[in-house]
Structure 1
């Protein structure tokens, strides 16, 4: 089937729109819920460390999950997996909204969410390669990246207002509803597809693939170029709640807006040759 060029043509591609909207909703829910949870834990404990872990603990757990479980991204049915991940986050976030939840229980839910999320990214981007042609995949990823920045701006701004005017628990409940809406959109909007690979997920297969990816010097440099700056950024962001509790939402929203501006500038305004030189 022929589709129109540019971003508008992507939305004429079957299944792209529900995947796109559901991903945007999950990104907004993640930012909204993360800010609310970090604020809630900081108010209860006064600990910058616990506040940071409650917000960014899922990312740490994703590293563990990707180390042992990532082979499941090719061996699980995409629609069921993505819907299940969204449902798990909706349920977990609703639990986090419960008043008086002990900190150890908060951290347990957060880490469990991170392990579940370790499968989501691989399944999502693998599915996108099936929905879009090879020539249009990068355009689709570019749109996802830019929209992720806007969803983060909206999520953090909304979270800041809700936390200040109402309560962190209210913001967490709204995040849970966004996750539930994303799950419904994925279930109704995507077609049931078989897994891309046969066999059962296993740590051995995951390690074999990771070893292959890490064996290339060029890929290692690319990975480090992605990991180190992002790690430093997250290190700064992890202190926003404890540094300025009343303005954390504004700080997060400004950081997300800056990253969105960078994505647009590099992705749409710079020539490919210049992008390659400026990458370093």
Structure 2
């Protein structure tokens, strides 16, 4: 995307519409492909965990099958995302979809031992970081200005809906035949590959062979530009902080529902309501804020909503019933949806095109690690303290963290300068031939006094 300073400043004509976004044929193809692959992923998670449990009757191995999808991000997500920068984005997405399709077909074969299922599942998920990084880098090439923010909101909301729908479909099909669910997943990858191949232009790669260096060096440049540029660093802190607390009700839902069982809801129903509440709130918030709130107001609301999101969970201290917990989690999800797409829109606008896939790898890996760590730490705390107390205090700390992030947000001139610098870099090098050192905004020395430190 060739962003300009005026792209980031509030648009006087109001927000972009869904028609504006879906009127772009390439975005329609990418959206459909993304939704299909996500639904397939969650169908496979539900099916594989049941398949492994039926074969081994081991809860630990079943959980390992579920957790395998997170390992690539933890072990080498930024490196795998950097690979996507070296090749045409359409080629990366199609290749990853076809590889995942073939591997899922192998998992669905009868008689595959559990250890082989885990290995094949891990190999399948290795394709996630480069595929998602390529998709993240393509979206700003398709949508510009406020259309980008609305498009990101739609994609994020679709991800939450895909999670709910995929789990429901996967559990229903797997109850009769886990291999059948895996075949459905393979079919979604095939359809996704076809949509991307025929629906997207085959644009040049962001980094040509002549401008490559060592892969690890290129990966390090992703970290350098995210945490070395004040605006990108501020966005990363805001997004990571949101992930740190918003996942906790979902992660502790099983224990929370068990402790509060015996009311109007069974423990199983209470767990389902709590787990689904945050995604549902996010879907509603993403659509409402992204579509009905204008660009100027959206930017102004981003920091207040960031503080409001953890604040919504603080009343958990009073040990409310599961229905109220679900409402609190939904309100938190709604507020987070008002923060993340807007922050992501600014993030991609402040990035030169040749660094977007790598920067996405850094952000996605950080998000996965932070969410896993938050659930792990709060789970350990819940072994010694009551779940409502853990969630309430954890969220109160989140309020303090978000206040700090909001108060140290860069000044508008720093934001404008970062977006302008990225735009100049793209204009000066339209073919994506980037220098090996990430560019800083012009006059950076003077602006550092106003930047986040």
TM-score class, shorter: 0.7 to 0.9
Deviations 1:26-67 (A, max 9, x none): 011011111111111122223333222212312221232323
Mapped contact 2:154–2:287 kept (Cα < 8 A):
no
* Cα distance in 2 for residues equivalent to 1:245 and 1:91: 35
Mapped contact 1:41–1:50 kept (Cα < 8 A):
yes
Greater mean alpha carbon deviation, residues 178-187 or residues 96-105: 96-105
Q: TM-score, normalised by structure 1?
A: 0.83
Return closer, same or farther for 1:78/1:173 CA change in 2, 3 Å cut-off: same
Asked if 1:260 corresponds to 2:270, the answer is no
Between structure 1 and structure 2, the one with the greater Rg is 2
Aligned length: 272
Correspondence 1:103-252 to 2 at 5 A? 103-164=114-175, 166-198=176-208, 199=212, 202-215=215-228, 218-219=234-235, 221-229=237-245, 232=248, 235-236=251-252
* Cα distance in 1 for residues equivalent to 2:66 and 2:185: 14
Match 1:22 to one of 9, 17, 33 = 33
Q: TM-score, normalised by structure 2?
A: 0.54
> Partner residue of 1:47?
58
* Cα distance in 2 for residues equivalent to 1:245 and 1:96: 29
State the superposition RMSD in angstroms.
3.1
* Cα distance in 2 for residues equivalent to 1:249 and 1:267: 27
Asked if 1:36 corresponds to 2:47, the answer is yes
Match 1:87 to one of 93, 98, 106 = 98
SS of equivalent residue, structure 2 residue 198? helix
Return closer, same or farther for 1:29/1:146 CA change in 2, 3 Å cut-off: same
Return closer, same or farther for 1:251/1:37 CA change in 2, 3 Å cut-off: farther
**Unaligned residue ranges in structure 1 (runs of 5+):** none
Mapped contact 1:97–1:170 kept (Cα < 8 A):
yes
* Cα distance in 2 for residues equivalent to 1:206 and 1:68: 5
Mapped contact 1:69–1:119 kept (Cα < 8 A):
yes
Mapped contact 1:41–1:54 kept (Cα < 8 A):
yes
Return closer, same or farther for 1:108/1:246 CA change in 2, 3 Å cut-off: farther
Asked if 1:278 corresponds to 2:305, the answer is yes
SS of equivalent residue, structure 1 residue 194? coil
Return closer, same or farther for 1:248/1:173 CA change in 2, 3 Å cut-off: farther
Mapped contact 1:157–1:253 kept (Cα < 8 A):
no
> Partner residue of 1:56?
67
Greater mean alpha carbon deviation, residues 176-185 or residues 194-203: 194-203
Deviations 1:125-168 (A, max 9, x none): 1111111124321111111111222222222221122122x211
* Cα distance in 2 for residues equivalent to 1:9 and 1:157: 31
Greater mean alpha carbon deviation, residues 58-67 or residues 86-95: 58-67
Return closer, same or farther for 1:247/1:57 CA change in 2, 3 Å cut-off: farther
Return closer, same or farther for 1:31/1:249 CA change in 2, 3 Å cut-off: farther
Mapped contact 2:79–2:215 kept (Cα < 8 A):
yes
SS of equivalent residue, structure 1 residue 99? coil
